[in-house]
Each structure stands twice: as structure tokens, then as C-alpha cells.
Amino acid sequence: MSNRLTYEELEQKIKDLEQIVSDSKIEEARLKESEITYRNISRMLRLMCDNMPTMIWAKDLQKRYIFVNKAVCSDLLSAVDTDEPIGKTDIFFAQRERSRYPDNPKWHTFGEICRDTDQITMDAGKPMQFDEYGNVQGKFMFLDVHKAPFIDENGVMIGTVGSAQNITEYKEAESQIRQLQKNESLGYMAAGIAHLFNNYLYIVSGNLELALESIPEDSVLRYNIVEAINGTYRCADVSGAMLTYLGHNFTKSQPIDISEFCKTSLSNFRDSMYSDIAIETNLTDDELIVNANAGQMKEVLTNLINNAYESIGQNKGVICLNTKIISASDILKLHILPVDSKPLLDRYACLEVTDTGCGIPKKDIYEIADPFFTTKFTGRGLGLAVVLGIVRSWGGMIGVNSEIGIGSSFMVFLPLYIENPQSK
């Protein structure tokens, strides 16, 4: 039997081969087209993600990054580009940031939080929302985070995807609104209580003084009565401080050069300070005259320096007293108390007290001037409230700048004194 192909069979074989080649070219063209489409989509997604302020990322099951956009690199990880995080975890970047500031453990605290929520999302096997917050490069950040399992085409979980928006300013604005509402309610209540309290104190102290007149000089009861009277005076001081905070305590004002005032007041503070705490000054030589009350100015300075002293505690540190002119634009960069205050003038006199103490948590900034708010113990905390009340009665405001582990700065902003020509 012959194995030779007939002409018709050979012709069919050639046609089959041509079809195979044609199909192969078509498939190759489709594959090339698909690759071009994939690259275009990939470039488009990269461009979209990198131009969004929202942080976007994907991780594998070991919580290592497999994709990040530019916002993640700049705002969270301090990575040089979007390639650097690939194959690394949040912990890697948190530890790197901390190594740059070994004396400040609060410099970067986001790594642990992100690691926990990744695991929660994988365990739940469904999309999750988280409020995450902590310090990034020494600054407090509050994120609205959404995470979901990353599922392949076979339905197997291979990691997580996530996005986050920085809502720190929004949270701060919410905090300010609550603070204003609280201050209004507190004001009505405290004013009524303080006035009622004072009325009862006058009754108690008046009757005690009458009783003291009828007790013989050599009686042992005199000491107890005198101590009770002194106690009513101390209570009256607290009540008066509350009224000062609320702006119900009015005193006569006069032009005061705050730089000269500070110079004459400093010796008393230096004598009472712990030996390892130094007081430095940077007082402007220019006239810095404000319309204020000398007794209350002393109270303001005393409270601010005492707070700085207590912030440093038994550690070695420095308290610096500065006076200067400050512009309204610079004031707006700070945390301002009361929270609804805004500079109405172009320039203000500034009395600033800085310290190298423990610092104030950001969440407490807008509450530190609340009556009796304190991080120490119950019964303290009227100092800054009194300062705020006095400064507010002079048409001023207080600026606060603080970092945990580095220190705080309290700035009293007061309108510069303008002499009335008609008074001459």
C-alpha cells in the first residue's frame, strides 16, 4: 500500500497548516492587543491612584505591601517612591522612623494599629471600617480607614486592599463645636453656682467672725474658728477665679509695658524654682504696651510659669519668657483659645512662656483651659481657666503649641495700647 499523499490530500494539509498559522497570528495579535490594553489600564489606574489625596494600597497575607499610591508614601510611610514599600510591612517603616528619633517613642505610632486591623479584616473575611489614629512624623493623624479581603479568581483570599482619608481637621472641627457648646452650658451653670456660693460664704464667714468676738483670747476654740474663717476665704478665692474665667470679675485697667513688667517680676520666680530648671528671657527692647491690670497681669504670668514648672517636674529643663509683636497670620497657624476666637487686628503684643516639659496630648489641647481640667489629680486646673478669663476680658486670646516629649508654648496675645487723643 502506498504512503504517498494524493494531490487533493496534500492540498488539504497545506490549507490546514495555513489555517493554524493564521489562527496563531490572530491569537498572537489578540494577546498583544490584550497586553497593550492591560498596560494602558495599569497606567491609567496608577495615574488615577497617584493623583488622589486618598491613600490606597494592597497587601498580601503576610501584611506586606504589593501596591501603594503616592499618598501612602508621602503621608504615612515616608517612603521615597511607590516601589520602596513593595515587600515591606508597616512595622518596617515605623521602626525606621523611630530610629531617627530614639528619644521620642511617640514620634511614629501607626505601625501597630495598621497591623491589627489587617488581621481583623482577614479574620472577618468581609469589608471593614476603622478609625485609626496615632503620630506620623511627630504629628497626630486621624484616618477614616476602609479595608476588604483581596480575593483571586478562584475565590481564595490572597491579601487585603485598603484606603484611608485624613480627617484630622474634620475631627478637630467637631471637637471645637463640642467645646463651644460645653463652654456655653458651663458658663450659665458656673456663674449661677459661683454667685450663690459667694452669698452663702458671706453668711458663714460673717457668723464665724461674730462668734470669734465673743470667745476669750485664751480659749482653744479661737484657733478652730480662725481656721474656719480662713477656709471660707480660700473658698471665696476659688469662686472668684470661676467668675474671672467667666468674665464676671471686672477690674480697672491701665497701660502696661509687658516687657518691663516681666523684668521686674522674674526674680521672685527664680528664687522659688527647682535648681535644675533655668529661666531664660528674650524680651523685646521695643515698647510693648497693652491695656491691662497689673495685679491680674501678675496672676497671668504666675500661672503660666507655674504650669511650665510643673510640666518639667523634677527633671532638668528650661523655661523661656519671650515678648514680641506677632502678626494675625502667624496667630492663625496655632491652636487658639477660646476656640471661637479670631484675630481682629493686624498685629498683637505677645507674651510667651515656653518649657521643655512633657508636652500636652493633642486630644487635650482644647480642654486644658476648662475649669478643673487637669492631668494631675482632682481639684487642680483653675490656673489656665483664670488666665483665659483675664486675657479674654482684655480683648485677647491664647495660643498653644505643644509636642509630647518636647515641650509646650503658651502665648498670650493682647491688643496693643492706643492712646486716646481726647484723653490728653
| C-alpha dihedral, 73 to 78 to 83 to 87, nearest 10° | -100
**For the domain that residue 359 is a member of, what is the CATH number?**
3.30.565.10
136: left (phi over 0), alpha (psi -120 to 50) or beta: beta
Could you tell me which of 391, 396, 285 has the C-alpha nearest to residue 331?
396
Q: Given this model, what pLDDT does residue 249 score?
A: 58
> Which of 185, 212, 245 finishes a domain?
245
Tell me the percentage of the chain whose pLDDT exceeds 90: 26
What's the CA dihedral at 340, 345, 346, 349 to 10 degrees? -90
Distance CA 248, CA 420 (A): 26
Assigned C-alpha cell, 192: 449661677
Comparing C-alpha atoms, which of 124, 136, 240 is closest to residue 193?
240
Which band of pLDDT confidence, cut at 50, 70 and 90, is reported for residue 416? very high
Mean pLDDT for the stretch of residues 153-173: 88
Last residue of a domain, one of 166, 200, 218: 166
Domain that holds residue 84: 52-166
Q: Is the pLDDT of residue 303 over 90?
A: no
CA torsion angle 172 349 291 368 (round to 10): 30
Are 204 and 287 part of one and the same domain? no
pTM listed for this prediction: 0.49
Most confident of 20-24, 99-103, 139-143, 324-328: 324-328
- CA dist 287 and 282 (Å) reads 14
Is residue 262 domain-shared with residue 324, that is, in the same domain?
yes
Residue 111 or residue 65, greater confidence: 65
Per the CB < 8 A criterion, the answer to whether 229 and 209 are in contact is: yes
pLDDT 10s digits, 101-115? 888 777 887 765 555
Residue 360 and residue 263 share a domain? yes
Q: What is the mean pLDDT of residues 203-223?
A: 85
Q: Percentage of the chain surpassing pLDDT 70?
A: 82
Return the exposure string of 75-111: e unless at least 16 CB atoms fall within 10 Å of the residue's CB, then b: bbbbbeebebbeebbbebbbeebbeeeeebebbbbbb
- Model pLDDT, residue 419: 67
Query: Does 261 lie in the same domain as 200?
Result: no
Q: pLDDT tens-digit profile of 186-196?
A: 666 666 777 77
* pLDDT at res. 379: 36
Tell me: pLDDT of 380 over 50: no
Task: Taking residues 326-348, report their average pLDDT.
Answer: 85
Give residue-wise pLDDT tens across range 270-280. 666 667 888 88
Residue-level pLDDT at 321: 92
Confidence of residue 246 (pLDDT cuts 50, 70, 90): low
Whose cell is 530648671? That residue is 277
Question: Which of 183, 212, 245 is at the close of a domain?
Answer: 245
Mean pLDDT of 332-339: 81
CA 219 from chain centre, in angstroms, equals: 58
pLDDT digits (tens, 9 = 90+) for 322-334: 999 999 888 888 8
**Count of domains observed in the chain:** 3
Tens of pLDDT, residue by residue over 114-129, are: 557 888 899 999 999 9
